[in-house]
Structure 1
Amino acid sequence: MPSDNLLALYVHWPFCVSKCPYCDFNSHVRAEVDQQAWAAALLADLAHEARELPSRRLGSVFFGGGTPSLMPPATVAAILSAAERHWGFDDGIEITLEANPSSVEAARFADLAAAGVNRASLGLQSLADAALQFLGRAHSVAEGLAALDVAQAVFARVSFDLIYALPGQTLAAWSHELEQALARGTEHLSLYQLTIEPGTRFATDAAAGRLTIPDGDAAADLFEATRATTAAAGLPAYETSNHARPGAESRHNLAYWRYRDYAGIGPGAHGRRGGLATQRRRKPENWLAAVARNGHGIELEEPLDPHTRATEALLMGLRLREGVDLTRIAQLAGGTAPIDDAAVVRLEGQGFVAREAQRLRVTEAGALLLDAILPLVVKDRVAA
């Protein structure tokens, strides 16, 4: 079956159990949720997408958002059953659920696995208690590692994430933490440098001078050490911040980076289907009311012009070690791939990108400078 026929499904569960200092979903904290109403609404939203995307097969499902591991397993099972009925599952379908590594959530892992989840993505975020406190996490290192043990016992595949380039973090400290992480025997790691998002407590502290993260040179040293250490351990970077054993890459996230169609349901969920961009209403109550009124929670549905589609595909695909197929990019653009050939030649001469036949990729040397390289490579719409 052609890969273009495969579809990814993202299910957004917006509710958090506690506030955190580095995201903007704190308005979604809820003490109680009408689970029956939410299950029915998610199934209705799903059915709408299935009508818009017929004759497809699901290659992956991802339950993400606030605290999706606190979704009732019966709701997870109902969504998966409906998704399989609407589309059918591809062989080896990947069904991922994000989870916080708390003992409360770990106690639910077996039931979630029984409901059909076969991959867990755990938000460990750090293997240092002081760092977890700084990040506003409720779990301790011991609790997080205990949850990881449970996840590895019940799910076929497990990934976890860590955040580095924290205030005061040295290269030696991060290298030690990364070695500890690799010793846990995981097949996939997501390793992110700390970023300061506008409107968060971190942004306020940084503006007031109370928070200083490693500067450019120090951050570069941490980035390069991360890639060297994971590669030596057999988990090379296949995307800017994601590392996996060959064959264990996130099938769902690859659908995004390879610019394949994906359906997004639930509050705030985005999607791409057939050249259309979709966005659900973000506020939970507004989304719920929209589903009751319209049979779906869509707030925005707009066509993407060829240049935008090709540009999105370039920006996503160049994050991957494999790079992009320029023939496909040109097809999306309806003619010529929107790349700046002069900039590519210059960057190729500097060793930052490589063009081999119809593939363009960012080299290992260029990965460190990706944010600076992307706007140089992609040709502006006016100049196209």
Structure 2
Amino acid sequence: MTADLPLALYVHWPFCVSKCPYCDFNSHVRESVDQEAWRAALLADLAHEAALLPGRRLGSIFFGGGTPSLMPPETVAAIIDAAAGHWQFESDIEITLEANPSSVEASRFADIGRAGVNRVSLGLQALDDAALRFLDRAHGAAEGLAALDTAQRVFDRVSFDLIYARPEQTLAGWEAELGRALSFGTEHLSLYQLTIEPGTRFATLFEKGQLAAFDPDSAADLFEATRAMTAAAGLPAYEISNHARPGAESRHNLTYWRYGDYAGVGPGAHGRRCGVASLRRKKPENWLGSVERNGHGVEREDPLVPQERGVEALLMGLRLEEGVDLKRIGALTGGEPPLDPAALAGMERQGLLALDGDRLRVTGAGMPVLEAILRELVLA
């Protein structure tokens, strides 16, 4: 079923200048990186995935991290060229690279664009210096906005991230910051509430009583204001944390949320291909050694039983404003969608879910409590 849809390719670059205190991604700080060895290894890992997915059309490439804007542009170009040799590109293929908004990295944007990237996602995270210091970001507000200006001149498509529900942030303060963000005319915004993830420096501070969690009721107010303001500005939410002009949605991320096939290469990268879940070795040195020994960085490949595929498709798809097609979910499972009928009926009565034919979606009232809904609704 998913083999008829365009394939997506995720490429993980694991290195950062510093580790942010809220980040639980597979990112690492190293004094030096052997760029030639890493380019060769990424190309080998890519070739391994391509051999398992022959004849597919490629709809998107996403360079994530870590900080992929630290990749040499020639490495970016080599990966894009190799992907074009392995698969047929869609005519409107989306090629995104995540970037930190430092002046050093912004100076590479033109070269990255020439390498074939046509969309950049900037990790601005906040628009004032005090908040950026709290988040321990390596850039200041002015530097970040200068990088945004450069990005919008170089790339046809630009997105940026902001983190809200920060300690002591007020509703008025967030509305002012978001209003300023919307004034830049960017086509896509990713707006995330600050969460304290296990294993991060913020989690350590929280456990020591040195960092307070944001009040859930206040966070809900900020969430509602976010959706109202972005919708009024013409960038409605199409996923719980992502907002875009119609037609400017991230096609790569939609592949995940719509449960299409995607290949993942690089340290710690996940993939879903033809009903198999793949996972690469996480530590950069272990992944690199695996590629040198085996020609790929795969640590695990697990066939997904129909029930697992249905559960994953529901957990991903109900994040979207469009919801999910229950007929398609049933086709994945070979039977009924893995839903609790009593929970579904109760949540419909409460106005948290809406069922229209085979289309099930979470309502605006339900989105603030999405995680609770999924725990009760989906039969994992």
Residue of structure 2 in register with 1:122 after alignment? 122
Q: Distance in 2 between matches of 1:376 and 1:10?
A: 31
Residue of structure 1 in register with 2:46 after alignment? 46
Q: Alpha-carbon deviations, 1:186-231, whole Å to 9, x = none? A: 0000000000011222112212222123211101100000000000
What displacement does 1:48 show? 0.5
Q: Does 1:300 align with 2:300?
A: yes
Counterpart of 1:57, as a letter, is R
Residue of structure 1 in register with 2:241 after alignment? 241
Counterpart of 2:243, as a letter, is H
Residue of structure 2 in register with 1:149 after alignment? 149
Q: Distance in 1 between matches of 2:76 and 2:110?
A: 13
Residue of structure 2 in register with 1:254 after alignment? 254
Residue of structure 2 in register with 1:105 after alignment? 105
Residue of structure 2 in register with 1:266 after alignment? 266
Residue of structure 2 in register with 1:347 after alignment? 347
What is the number of residues matched between the two proteins? 379
Greater shift, 314-323 or 84-93, is seen at: 84-93
After TM superposition, the structure 1 = structure 2 runs for residues 37-186 of structure 1, keeping only pairs within 5 Å, are 37-186=37-186
Q: Is the 8 A contact 1:4 1:260 kept in 2?
A: no
What displacement does 1:183 show? 0.2
CA RMSD of aligned residues (A): 1.2
Q: Flag the 1:27–1:154 CA change in 2: closer, same or farther, 3 A.
A: closer
Q: Distance in 2 between matches of 1:230 and 1:240?
A: 12
Residue of structure 2 in register with 1:313 after alignment? 313
Q: Is the 8 A contact 2:129 2:140 kept in 1?
A: yes
Q: Is the 8 A contact 2:240 2:320 kept in 1?
A: yes
Q: Flag the 1:26–1:86 CA change in 2: closer, same or farther, 3 A.
A: closer
Q: Flag the 1:26–1:314 CA change in 2: closer, same or farther, 3 A.
A: closer
Q: Flag the 1:119–1:358 CA change in 2: closer, same or farther, 3 A.
A: same
Q: Flag the 1:378–1:24 CA change in 2: closer, same or farther, 3 A.
A: closer
Segments of structure 1 that go 5 or more residues without pairing to the other structure are none
Counterpart of 1:348, as a letter, is E
Residue of structure 2 in register with 1:202 after alignment? 202
Q: Is the 8 A contact 2:353 2:362 kept in 1?
A: yes
Q: Distance in 2 between matches of 1:26 and 1:266?
A: 10
Q: Alpha-carbon deviations, 1:319-372, whole Å to 9, x = none? A: 000000001100111111111122111111111100001010000111111111
Q: Is the 8 A contact 2:13 2:63 kept in 1?
A: yes
Q: Flag the 1:238–1:230 CA change in 2: closer, same or farther, 3 A.
A: same
Q: Flag the 1:200–1:78 CA change in 2: closer, same or farther, 3 A.
A: same
Residue of structure 2 in register with 1:191 after alignment? 191
Q: Flag the 1:93–1:135 CA change in 2: closer, same or farther, 3 A.
A: same
Counterpart of 1:174, as a letter, is W
Greater shift, 301-310 or 17-26, is seen at: 17-26
Q: Flag the 1:189–1:25 CA change in 2: closer, same or farther, 3 A.
A: closer
Q: Percent identity?
A: 72
State TM-score, norm by structure 1: 0.97
What displacement does 1:22 show? 2.0
Greater shift, 173-182 or 192-201, is seen at: 192-201
Q: Distance in 2 between matches of 1:362 and 1:27?
A: 33
Residue of structure 2 in register with 1:332 after alignment? 332
Counterpart of 1:133, as a letter, is R
Q: Distance in 1 between matches of 2:188 and 2:344?
A: 31
Q: Distance in 2 between matches of 1:27 and 1:368?
A: 29
Q: Is the 8 A contact 1:20 1:26 kept in 2?
A: no
Segments of structure 2 that go 5 or more residues without pairing to the other structure are none
Residue of structure 2 in register with 1:371 after alignment? 371
Counterpart of 2:356, as a letter, is E
What displacement does 1:171 show? 0.1
Q: Flag the 1:26–1:91 CA change in 2: closer, same or farther, 3 A.
A: closer
Counterpart of 1:55, as a letter, is G
Q: Distance in 2 between matches of 1:233 and 1:4?
A: 35
Q: Is the 8 A contact 1:165 1:213 kept in 2?
A: no
Q: Flag the 1:82–1:26 CA change in 2: closer, same or farther, 3 A.
A: closer
Q: Distance in 1 between matches of 2:3 and 2:51?
A: 20
Greater shift, 30-39 or 108-117, is seen at: 30-39
What displacement does 1:66 show? 1.0
Q: Is the 8 A contact 2:25 2:65 kept in 1?
A: no
Q: Distance in 2 between matches of 1:8 and 1:378?
A: 26
Q: Distance in 2 between matches of 1:221 and 1:89?
A: 43
What displacement does 1:51 show? 0.5
State TM-score, norm by structure 2: 0.98
Q: Distance in 1 between matches of 2:252 and 2:20?
A: 26
Q: Distance in 1 between matches of 2:223 and 2:247?
A: 23
Q: Distance in 2 between matches of 1:78 and 1:159?
A: 24
